[in-house]
Amino acid sequence: EDQVTQSPEALRLQEGESSSLNCSYTVSGLRGLFWYRQDPGKGPEFLFTLYSAGEEKEKERLKATLTKKESFLHITAPKPEDSATYLCAVPGDNFNKFYFGSGTKLNVKP
């Protein structure tokens, strides 16, 4: 079965302190990698899709990158409002189902 592993499980940053989250995956053939943000009590909110190694996507302070084995979510000069759980997911063989990682819980302190 496809596996998605995220690290670290939790990350505490000071406001303005840049860092990266990791998502590694084992799939027979990558059909896209999706990043979501989840706030407490809410559903996952779509951030990015990456389809091929070397691809990069940016949104405000977030930048997602993809290699053949893993993806990184870089957070530049984070603010407290960036605090959330960040999830990555990959589609299965038949595109029907997403396999999710356990998420990285990010806490940005002012």
Partner 1 sequence: EAGVTQFPSHSVIEKGQTVTLRCDPISGHDNLYWYRRVMGKEIKFLLHFVKESKQDESGMPNNRFLAERTGGTYSTLKVQPAELEDSGVYFCASSQLAGGADTQYFGPGTRLTVL
Which DSSP helix (H) or strand (E) runs through 63? strand 62-66
Q: How many CA atoms lie within 13 A of 90 on its CB side?
A: 26
Q: Is 36 in the site for partner 1 (CB under 8 A)?
A: yes
Q: Kindly tell me which residue out of 17, 61, 70, 92 binds partner 1, with binding defined by CB under 8 A.
A: 92
Q: Kindly tell me which residue out of 87, 104, 106, 108 binds partner 1, with binding defined by CB under 8 A.
A: 87
Q: Which residues of 11-34 are buried (b: 16+ CB within 10 A; e: fewer)?
A: bebeeeeebebebbbebeebeebb
Q: Kindly tell me which residue out of 57, 63, 83, 91 binds partner 1, with binding defined by CB under 8 A.
A: 91
Question: Contact residues for partner 1 (CB under 8 A)?
Answer: 4, 31-32, 34, 36, 41-46, 49, 87, 89, 91-92, 94-103
